Amino acid sequence: MTIHPIESRYGRDEIRRIFNDESKLQFMLNVESALAKAHSTVGNIPKKDAEKISNKANLGYVSVKRVKEIESEINHDVMAVVKALSEQCGDSGKYIHLGATSADITDTALALQLREFIKFLLDDLKRLKRTLLNLAEKHKNTICIGRTHGQHSIPTTYGLKFAIFAAEIQRHINRVKECKPRILVGQMTGAVGTQAGFGKKGIRIQELTMKFLGINSVLVSNQVIQRDRHAEFLLNLALISETLNKIGTEVRNLQRTEISEISEKFLENQVGSSTMPHKRNPVYAERICGLSRVIKADAITSLENIPLWHERDLTNSSCERIIIPEACILVDYILNLSIDLLRNLVFNYENIKKNLEMSQGLVMSEAVMIKLVEKGMNRQDAHELLRKCAMESYEKKIPFRNVLLKNPEILRYMNEREIIFALNPGNYIGTAVEQVEIVLRELG
């Protein structure tokens, strides 16, 4: 029986596997194994005992079922792992977990989980960036109306939209890479962080344990790895999700019946509504936007995990069992959903053109104003003149061109050919194409 939708509906199996009970247990066993090797290396325990612990520290010997049985008796998850592993190691079991505290194992194991996840995360982001760059290149000359405050403004291009999104995804790639050294760290600091349980070789034991695991050690810590690290990572996931929210919101708006410039691909047998047979809803984009709210909420919770009492408390532990797997699984899911959505976007070029022309030329008022200034008119005078012409066109519902061609003040500066040229959207997209080409060169 499944309860949470990420168990069956939202998420990829390969990501779920990183955070399932079996993987979590194996990562914890890996840490216990590395700790035993470190003790052996510094001469604290016999090499043969460390080797036996390492040989038994896998799911072939220590099962989730057995760990849960022990936990049900003692009510302590990490000690249940220690006991289950000790059962398999005979007399060598007395050296398992020597000097360590629970958080040394769980926090370090979490770093190992996140290391695996980040590989997928960076791959997702790179594939999404490539998808956006392909769209930017394909549509760098697809002229459409730009909108500010939900109103028609001046022409832009679809290529520029996608280039802006691609540049934002690149920043997320940079952020994830930058935070890896801060999040992929482990510790062996023992109770309250003094390493007293490890003796004088505590710092070396920590260094060796992390070396065997292939991650860095904390510089200094108490009984838990400090939660600013995890909060930073979840905030990065929230930033990624909000970019996807922004992309999804743009698709949803542009798919509105009244706009209908682009839309999600609609499958041959797809059903849009259980009661309205005609519906073609932007379900992917809406799902992306909806799940981004959960990821953002998880990030907010991670901030509240930073101020723990004194050297530690457990208030972070329970919620992290939820928020970290949930945020990771959902971010990966909506990243892949976004790639699928964007690769299959349907463009309605007829409506793109119709919307561009909907205002009967009013959206070209700035272009005319700039031309008047080039011809010698004061910029503020030109703005006021064009504002009055625009209001006349709007209120009388007549083409802007007609208003301009009968205005003597404008005709003093511009002839009919120049007015018609200025009213052509294709002549007023500025450096949009060049900007897209710059993005393609820089990020391609």
Specify the pLDDT at position 250. 97
Specify the pLDDT at position 2. 81
Please give the average per-residue pLDDT across 28-43, as a whole number: 98
Please give the average per-residue pLDDT across 368-392, as a whole number: 95
| DSSP-derived 3-state class of residue 279 | coil
Specify the pLDDT at position 371. 96
Q: Is 431's pLDDT higher than 80? A: yes
CA 335 → CA 127, 165, 330, distances in Å? 9, 13, 8
pLDDT (tens digit, 9 = 90+) per residue, 272-290?
A: 767 787 777 888 999 999 9
273 is catalytic: yes
Please give the average per-residue pLDDT across 439-443, as a whole number: 97
Specify the pLDDT at position 280. 79
Q: Which of 57, 58, 32 is nearest to 45 (CA)?
A: 32
CB 436 within 8 A of CB 163: yes
Please give the average per-residue pLDDT across 227-255, as a whole number: 97
Q: Is 432's pLDDT higher than 80? A: yes
Q: Which listed residue (54, 72, 149, 274) is catalytic?
A: 149
Q: How would you label 308-323 residue by residue, b for 16+ Cβ within 10 Å and e otherwise? A: beeebeeebbeebeeb
**Interhelix angle for 202-213 vs 102-138, to 10°?**
40
Specify the pLDDT at position 270. 77
pLDDT (tens digit, 9 = 90+) per residue, 385-426?
A: 999 999 999 999 999 999 999 999 999 999 999 999 999 999
149 is catalytic: yes
CB 26 within 8 A of CB 16: no
Q: Regarding beta strands 262-263 and 346-347, do their DSSP bridges make them parallel or antiparallel, or are they unpaired? A: antiparallel
Please give the average per-residue pLDDT across 241-251, as a whole number: 98
pTM, rounded to two decimals: 0.94
Q: Is 355's pLDDT higher than 80? A: yes
Please give the average per-residue pLDDT across 70-84, as a whole number: 97
**Can you list the domains of the chain with their CATH numbers?**
11-98 (1.10.275.10), 103-357+439-444 (1.20.200.10), 362-422 (1.10.40.30)
Please give the average per-residue pLDDT across 16-21, as a whole number: 96
pLDDT (tens digit, 9 = 90+) per residue, 136-190?
A: 999 999 999 999 999 999 999 999 999 999 999 999 999 999 999 999 999 999 9
Q: Which of 119, 148, 158 is nearest to 15 (CA)?
A: 119
Mean of the per-residue pLDDT values for the chain? Answer: 95
| DSSP-derived 3-state class of residue 46 | coil
The one-letter code for the residue type at 298 is D
Q: Is 207's pLDDT higher than 80? A: yes
Q: Which listed residue (8, 63, 153, 273) is catalytic?
A: 273
The one-letter code for the residue type at 333 is Y
Residue 361's pLDDT band (boundaries 50, 70, 90)? Answer: very high
pLDDT (tens digit, 9 = 90+) per residue, 254-276?
A: 999 999 999 988 776 777 767 78
| DSSP-derived 3-state class of residue 152 | strand
Count other Cβ atoms within 10 Å, centred on residue 211: 15
Rounded Cα–Cα distance for residues 354 and 369 (Å): 24
Element (H, E) at 276: none
